[in-house]
């Protein structure tokens, strides 16, 4: 096992199984409709790529990039749009795909911003959720992969300082790797 891995939290097989289940559920719920799937860059791109291959209704994709002011492992709720959507979402059924919900501030803000653009509907699909860390109490995650404890996790698209996105599983990074004492 690689040096930087404290422990694997969700294996590749578990991820693929869950993505399949989420895709099936979304496929059922959106029968007769078309979805605009919106990926939040960059953390969600791998999850989203796998997810849409398991959704069997017509869909199109778009991306947004968001930055929260704050340090690298915690957001403070002030959200800035770095890259907006390319296409309008008026009358579209929007499905926001996010890697992880932590405080919930990012998604609360995003949902508010997108709702002003008069979409037909807005739902949220998140791979991971750290319930313990939630600040926003009324955030509904319509489709959720896994509830996880309060660990800083990386892999399968999630990063620390832009690294580790390429690992096919979700793992807990050894503390010395995010405290700057080691790098891999």
Residue 7: CB minimum distance to ligand IMP, A? 14
Q: Count the neighbouring beta carbons within 10 Å of the beta carbon of residue 22.
A: 22
- According to CB under 6 A, which residues from 103 to 142 bind ligand IMP? 103-106
Binding segment for ligand IMP (CB under 6 A), chosen from 10-18, 20-28, 55-63, 98-106, is 98-106
* Contact characters 40-69, ligand IMP, x per CB under 6 A: ---x------------------------x-
Binding segment for ligand IMP (CB under 6 A), chosen from 19-27, 48-56, 102-110, 176-184, is 102-110
Report the residue from 102, 119, 125, 155 that binds ligand IMP according to the rule CB under 6 A. Answer: 102
Query: Distance (Å, rounded) from C-alpha 174 to C-alpha 168?
Result: 17
Residue 152 contacts residue 178 (beta carbons within 8 Å): yes
Residue 136 contacts residue 105 (beta carbons within 8 Å): yes
The sign one gets for the Cα dihedral 157, 15, 61, 106 is negative
Question: Has 84 been annotated as catalytic?
Answer: no
Query: Which two three-digit tokens encode residue 110?
Result: 């995003």
Residues binding Mg ion (CB under 5 A)? 43
Residue 31 vs 138, nearer CB to ligand IMP: 138
Residue 14 vs 29, nearer CB to ligand IMP: 14
Residue 101 vs 124, nearer CB to ligand IMP: 101
**HSE-up of residue 134 (Cα within 13 Å, Cβ side):** 18
Instruction: Give the closest residue to 110 by CA, choosing from 81, 135, 74, 83.
Output: 81
Residue 98: CB minimum distance to Mg ion, A? 6
Catalytic residue among 102, 138, 142, 159: 102
Q: Tell me the C-alpha to C-alpha distance, in Å, between residue 31 and each of 93, 122, 156.
A: 12, 16, 29
Phi-psi region of 117 (alpha: psi -120 to 50; beta: other; left: phi over 0): alpha
- Which residues of this chain interact with ligand IMP, rule CB under 6 A? 43, 68, 75, 98-106, 152-154, 158
Positions marked active-site: 102
């Amino acid at each position: 096992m690689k040096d930087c891995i404290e422990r694997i939290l969700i294996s590749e097989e578990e991820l693929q199984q869950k993505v399949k289940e989420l895709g099936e559920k979304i496929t059922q719920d959106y029968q007769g409709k078309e979805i605009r799937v919106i990926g939040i860059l960059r953390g969600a791109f791998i999850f989203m790529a796998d997810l849409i291959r398991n959704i069997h209704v017509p869909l199109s994709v778009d991306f947004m990039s968001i930055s929260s002011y704050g340090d690298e492992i915690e957001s403070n709720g002030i959200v800035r749009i770095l890259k907006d959507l390319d296409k309008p979402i008026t009358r579209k059924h929007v499905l926001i795909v996010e890697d992880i919900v932590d405080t919930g501030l990012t998604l609360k803000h995003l949902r508010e911003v997108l709702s002003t653009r008069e979409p037909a509907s807005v739902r949220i699909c998140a791979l991971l959720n750290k319930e313990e860390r939630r600040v926003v109490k009324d955030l509904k995650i319509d489709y959720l992969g896994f509830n996880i404890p309060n660990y800083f996790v990386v892999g399968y698209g999630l990063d620390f300082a832009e690294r580790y996105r390429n690992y096919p599983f979700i793992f807990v990074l050894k503390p010395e790797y995010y405290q700057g004492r080691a790098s891999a």
